[in-house]
Chains A and B, each alone.
Chain A
Amino acid sequence: MKRSFKTSGALAATAAAALILSACGEAPDEAPETDESALAAEEVDFKACVVSDDGGWNDQSFNQSAYAGLMNADEEFGIDHAEVESHSEDQFGPNVDSMVQQGCDLVFGVGFLLADAISEAAAANPETTFALIDEWVPEELENAKPLVFNTSEAAYLAGYVAAAVSETDVVGTWGGLQIPSVTVFMDGFADGVDRYNSDNDGDVELVGWDKDAQSGSFSGGFQDQNAGRTLTEQLLAQDADVIMPVAGASGVGAGPAIEEAEAKMIWVDSDGYESTEYGNIILTSVLKQITQATFDTIEEGVNGNFTAEPYVGTLENDGVGLAPFHDFEDEVPDEVKEKVEELREEIISGETVVESVNAP
């Protein structure tokens, strides 16, 4: 018994020391801060809420982007907001339900796995509006808006650029999981490489994804950076010198491997030049503007003109796009840049159609 007193004494001393070190600040004035935020909330009477899938808010992918959109809207309009993370799939339904019960005006579900939960809640709660990122919802629902992105269009441009700058005539791509929102990038990328070959009599090979067979390399998830690194090394060993990982945080693992091999990387979702620490090797990024789409949907809600009209991000509405070349601005030949602009126009006008069985 004696010993346990001693241990708790030591613990208490440590805790006290920690407190003393950090607790010498000044007390603020009595006016409680909460008034201020209450005022802000009164400016607009609107509550937007998001439910993540099991990736969580720090997934360097769509959950994080949607969360950023919500935060931007909060800053801009001073709306009320709430957000919940789901840890497992059996929490999707209850999480969406708890948001509705809290009186949210607009509830976002992030990821195709939430499709059932959002559709059910939308049918049961006609007064509340819903939005679903990355998957369609049944058309008859007048209070649920799907936000999907045809990223194959932008990936097509990236594929063309990759093929054009490749010195080994081999480019590569790999994904996190074989799901449509991932493989749609890879399909577009493959078509872009093909386009370069047919336009320039080129013979650039794509490794890591076979569009016709719909099979390729996957790391098995969006978290494991080591798996991403191993996969990247395999593609590098096959002589690929431009690689596009489509795998959220797992894709970060490609960074060190590509840096070591002095190859180039194409990032996806956000502009990797800004969002990752591998800006020096990032040729460009395939942008998927989830943050903007989330923000716009909230804006519609705040202004009272929410519609269930599906939002499809394309090159035309800037919902998807190609990021600047940043450090590689000088290395990418001008004729390639012109050609990319040309292709962009072609896709927007419908002259070139990027076909993918995985496109939304």
Chain B
Amino acid sequence: MSEQNEKTQPKESAADSSAEGSPPGAALKEAEGRLHHALRELSQTSWVISLLAVVVALAVGGLLIIAAHPQVQSTASYFFARPADFFTTSFQVVRDAYSSLFRGAVYDWQAPTLQRSIRPITETLVYAVPLILAGLGIAIGFRSGMLNIGGQGQIILGVTFAGFIGYAMDLPVGAHLLLALMGGILGGAIWGGIAGVLKARTGANEVIVTIMLNNIALYLLAWLLRQQWFVQTGSNQPQSSPVEESARLFTLFGAGFRLHAGIILAIAATFFVWWLMERSTLGFELRAIGENPDAARTAGVNVAKATALVLIIGGALCGLGGAAHLLGTEYRITAGIAGTIGFDAITVALLGRSKPLGTFLAGVLFGGLKAGGVLMQAQTGTPIDIVLVLQSVIVLLIAAPPLVRAIFFLPRPDGRSRSRRRREKQAEEVAA
């Protein structure tokens, strides 16, 4: 218990360290205390900030599209001779890029058939499914004051378990799918649980542990993909057999659409997380340790147990995300199956301010960027890296709410202007 106390009182231990020479790990503990604070701040920022961050990201992306476009570059070289060229070309280029992003993500009015026209929005949801599920898993951690960077590893384990059950077992329709999904949940929960138990028992920093577990998962999968008992393909290529039909998530709209039942799972999980965090006793305890672990302990919360549970539940959701990704669209396990979903999920949770509905919407937005990026690249030749820039700028701005407020001249949340605060500060100094 004494270890627990030390771990959860970062401010005190930091103060101690300056007084009597630094005990080992004090700096880490102090950093952890700041992290706690930052996470709490993040979940309290307004949704307006999230929205504005997206707007700014689109503007920055637009500038980059202009800068990277060869035709715009050529008009820029004679800017003073005929400036109109530069502006019209720039406008056209950005309009084309973003309109194709929209056509690829929502509704394609240039498609030859109605089916192709409405397909983009379903593609957006296909990409959104794993992002939402994993994002919810990360968000639970954020709400409870824990920075779970291990989404990637938890997804990989979920994929591995779900996939192996999916192609190595022979079960009736329904039971097979159910078991594969349970396998995904279990795989993610185990991987999250390792970090959770380590943190609860030994006070290990969850950021470091989860990052390392990501690497372990990656190489574990790479090794498994070279084992014939695992891949069951009879070839040397590092990929598994495809999962059986009976274990695949069924499609919702028939041929021509890839949207599968995973979206139902994502919606259900969103409700579950909302119920868990807002209505259940456990959720109350989790939020309590996120707000103030000491107060939570005083109030009778078993902090160690709650800490482990946060990462187990978070891992389970990430694992389910991986399972839905594999059983819904990919079918074969490959070394790069998880892509960057685990890291994108962190952004999704941040953008969604760690709230269930927010995370769902952020997941759909990121799914849209992925789906739209495909068409944007294919039709306008805009580098798909722009999508990455959009995502990154969004994170940057979300992480720095004052920056967004400064760009849009928004007042501070506490309602005081900067100059007034300065005056107050001066007054305080004078008084002192």
Which residues of A are at the interface with B, using a C-beta cutoff of 8 A?
1, 4, 19-20, 22-28, 54, 82, 84-85, 87-91, 93-95, 98-99, 101-102, 112-113, 116, 135, 177-180, 183, 220, 357-358
Q: How far is A72 from B332 in the complex, measured between Cα atoms in Å? A: 34
Stretch of B7-15, B72-80, B166-174 lying at the A interface: B72-80
Q: Are A102 and B378 in contact (CB under 8 A)?
A: yes
Q: Which chain B residues border A113 with CB–CB below 8 Å? A: 239, 334, 336
Q: Are A23 and B238 in contact (CB under 8 A)?
A: no
B373 nearest CB across to chain A (Å) = 8
Q: Are A180 and B378 in contact (CB under 8 A)?
A: no
Q: Are B325 and A94 in contact (CB under 8 A)?
A: no
Q: Are A85 and B377 in contact (CB under 8 A)?
A: yes
Determine if B379 is an interface residue (Cβ-Cβ < 8 Å): yes
A118 nearest CB across to chain B (Å) = 14
Q: Are B238 and A179 in contact (CB under 8 A)?
A: yes
Q: Are B374 and A95 in contact (CB under 8 A)?
A: yes
Known: A25-B77, A90-B330. A1 touches B418 (CB 8 A): yes
Q: Which chain B residues border A98 with CB–CB below 8 Å? A: 104, 374-375, 378-379
Among B82, B370, B383, the residue within 8 A (CB) of A27 is B82
Residue on B with the closest CB to A83?
B381
Known: A94-B374, A113-B334, A178-B226. A89 touches B78 (CB 8 A): no
Q: How far is A91 from B417 in the complex, measured between Cα atoms in Å? A: 47
Determine if B116 is an interface residue (Cβ-Cβ < 8 Å): yes
Q: Are A102 and B236 in contact (CB under 8 A)?
A: no
Q: Are A90 and B374 in contact (CB under 8 A)?
A: no
B56 nearest CB across to chain A (Å) = 14
Q: Are B236 and A358 in contact (CB under 8 A)?
A: yes
Known: A26-B78, A135-B237. A54 touches B332 (CB 8 A): no
Determine if B48 is an interface residue (Cβ-Cβ < 8 Å): no
Known: A26-B78, A26-B81, A94-B371. A88 touches B378 (CB 8 A): no
Q: Are A89 and B378 in contact (CB under 8 A)?
A: no
Q: Which chain B residues border A25 with CB–CB below 8 Å? A: 77-79, 81
Determine if B178 is an interface residue (Cβ-Cβ < 8 Å): no
Q: Which chain B residues border A20 with CB–CB below 8 Å? A: 80
Q: Are B336 and A89 in contact (CB under 8 A)?
A: yes
Q: How far is A54 from B339 in the complex, measured between Cα atoms in Å? A: 10
Q: Which chain A residues border B116 with CB–CB below 8 Å? A: 101
Q: Which chain A residues border B329 with CB–CB below 8 Å? A: 90, 93
Q: A179-B236, A180-B237 are in contact. List 12 more A-B contacts (CB 8 A).
A: A22-B79, A24-B79, A25-B78, A26-B81, A27-B81, A84-B377, A90-B330, A94-B123, A94-B374, A98-B104, A102-B378, A183-B236
Which 3 A-B pairs rank lowest in CB-CB distance, beginning with the nearest?
A23-B79, A88-B339, A27-B81
B55 nearest CB across to chain A (Å) = 17
Q: How far is A102 from B100 in the complex, measured between Cα atoms in Å? A: 13
Q: Are A1 and B77 in contact (CB under 8 A)?
A: no
Q: Are A90 and B127 in contact (CB under 8 A)?
A: yes
Interface string of B63-100 (1 = CB under 8 A from A): 00000000000001111111001000000000000000
Determine if B406 is an interface residue (Cβ-Cβ < 8 Å): yes
Q: How far is A113 from B332 in the complex, measured between Cα atoms in Å? A: 10
A220 nearest CB across to chain B (Å) = 8
Q: Are B378 and A177 in contact (CB under 8 A)?
A: no
Which range contains the number of B residues in contact with the other chain? Answer: 35 or more
A180 nearest CB across to chain B (Å) = 5
28 A-B residue contacts at CB 8 Å? A1-B417, A4-B407, A19-B79, A23-B76, A23-B79, A25-B81, A26-B81, A27-B81, A54-B336, A82-B378, A82-B381, A85-B377, A88-B336, A89-B330, A89-B334, A90-B339, A90-B370, A93-B329, A95-B377, A99-B378, A101-B111, A101-B116, A112-B239, A113-B239, A113-B334, A135-B237, A178-B238, A183-B236
Q: Are B76 and A22 in contact (CB under 8 A)?
A: yes
Among B77, B258, B407, the residue within 8 A (CB) of A23 is B77
Q: How far is A148 from B77 in the complex, measured between Cα atoms in Å? A: 45
Q: Are B340 and A88 in contact (CB under 8 A)?
A: yes
Q: How far is A203 from B81 in the complex, measured between Cα atoms in Å? A: 73
Q: Are A91 and B374 in contact (CB under 8 A)?
A: yes
Most buried by B among A19, A22, A24, A90: A90
Residue on A with the closest CB to B407?
A4
B424 nearest CB across to chain A (Å) = 17
Residue on B with the closest CB to A98?
B378
Q: Which chain A residues border B331 with CB–CB below 8 Å? A: 116
Q: Which chain A residues border B334 with CB–CB below 8 Å? A: 89, 113
Residue on B with the closest CB to A7?
B406
A112 nearest CB across to chain B (Å) = 6
Q: Are A84 and B384 in contact (CB under 8 A)?
A: yes
B262 nearest CB across to chain A (Å) = 12
Segment 401-432 of B: residues with Cβ below 8 Å from A: 406-407, 409, 417-419
Q: Are A4 and B80 in contact (CB under 8 A)?
A: no
Q: Which chain A residues border B377 with CB–CB below 8 Å? A: 84-85, 95
Determine if B337 is an interface residue (Cβ-Cβ < 8 Å): yes
Residue on A with the closest CB to B111?
A101
Q: How far is A88 from B383 in the complex, measured between Cα atoms in Å? A: 14
Q: Are A112 and B77 in contact (CB under 8 A)?
A: no
Interface string of B221-233 (1 = CB under 8 A from A): 0100010000000
Segment 341-396 of B: residues with Cβ below 8 Å from A: 370-371, 374-375, 377-379, 381, 383-384, 388
Q: How far is A180 from B371 in the complex, measured between Cα atoms in Å? A: 31
Q: How far is A44 from B82 in the complex, measured between Cα atoms in Å? A: 35
